[in-house]
Structure 1
Amino acid sequence: MKRSAAPFQLQTQPLPALQSLMAVSGSLTVLSLTLALAAHFPAFSPLLVLSPLGALLAWRCSAIAPRMLRWDGQEWHLYDRSRGSASFSPSPDEPAPVHLTVVFDLGFALLLRADRRSKGWSEPTYLPLSRSTQGPQWGTLRAVLYSARQSPG
């Protein structure tokens, strides 16, 4: 008898602490690059004003879009929230299969990579999740990630 994990769904939440950390990291990266350039080539000293631009770019790139991740008992589905509305694209009634890979697992936080199972090429979606934002579904999520068999994609 073959058993599968029970269906469930969860929603990704914005993580302002992670986004702030990425903004600081981006700013420090641009600052260190411009300081290294200015040390060797003094003409590049005016580029030091670009470090806030690095922070802004990192802030915007690390924003987490609201999404819904659903396990139907056989495979994972990922739905993106439509802009300016409370609905998801595609509709949660339509299949949107993805293959999930755990990039890293810290126990209290996970970074998942979702690859769409469509025939065309698409870039992966990264989903940072934390125990504090997922609450009681955290244990179920981890159990399904590590023990459920996904159908081949």
Structure 2
Amino acid sequence: MEAPPRHASAFALDLGPEKRLRWAAAFVFAVAAAALSFALASHDAVADRPRCSEACWFGLTLLILPAAAWLGWMLAGHVPLRLRWDGQAWHLGAACAPGDMEERAVHVRVALDFDDWLLLHIRSTRGWAPGRYLALCRADQSAHWQALRATLYVAVQQRAGEEGAPPWT
């Protein structure tokens, strides 16, 4: 007996910036800025003619750290997005203001799956753009988590069965 083919039903999910990822990016940027500042300070200290005193380097570091953390926080964020599966293809667009970003067809691939956390690789169906990664966690998407995971994996099986389907979906 053959099982009937499985098809994922329509599904939509609103995605905001992942706060823990933004905090991690801010921390990494701040640590990198501190390491660079301390490396420059130690290099300057052993130079034949130091250009800046230790107090000056300390003050510069205190100015650079918050700026680097802010930059990491901003780079890790994104506008609220809506990821939608219509039963045939994935679509990505703006969640709140439709005029900001038109919805477009995309290929979605699970890059990492840690049960409570997913990293999705999203590529446009047109062109050679490198794509983007979206981090999702169960805590932020608890109401839709099981449906999201089921749709992601059933959609991959469904696309794999189609002729001409790209191998990365």
Q: 2:39 matched to 1:32?
A: no
Tell me the equivalent position of 2:154: 147
Alignment of 1:1-150 (within 5 A): 1-42=4-45, 43=51, 46=57, 47-48=60-61, 49-81=63-95, 86-87=97-98, 89-90=101-102, 96-118=104-126, 120-148=127-155, 149-150=158-159
State, as a whole percentage, how many aligned pairs show the same letter.
34
| Equivalent position amino acid for 1:31 in 2 | A
Task: Say which one has the larger Rg.
Answer: 2
Deviation at 1:115, TM superposition (A): 0.3
Deviation at 1:19, TM superposition (A): 1.3
SS at match of 2:78: coil
Deviation string, structure 1 residues 118-146 (Cα, Å, up to 9, x no partner): 1x333412211111222222111112222
Deviation at 1:28, TM superposition (A): 0.8
CA contact (8 A) 2:23 2:73 kept: yes
Deviation at 1:63, TM superposition (A): 1.1
The answer for unaligned runs of 5 or more in structure 1 is none
| Equivalent position amino acid for 1:87 in 2 | P
TM-score (norm 2): 0.74
Deviation string, structure 1 residues 38-79 (Cα, Å, up to 9, x no partner): 223334763523222211110110113200001111221111
TM-score (norm 1): 0.80
Which 10-residue stretch deviates more, 72-81 or 60-69? 72-81
Alpha carbon RMSD of aligned pairs, Å?
2.2
| Equivalent position amino acid for 2:31 in 1 | L
SS at match of 1:133: coil
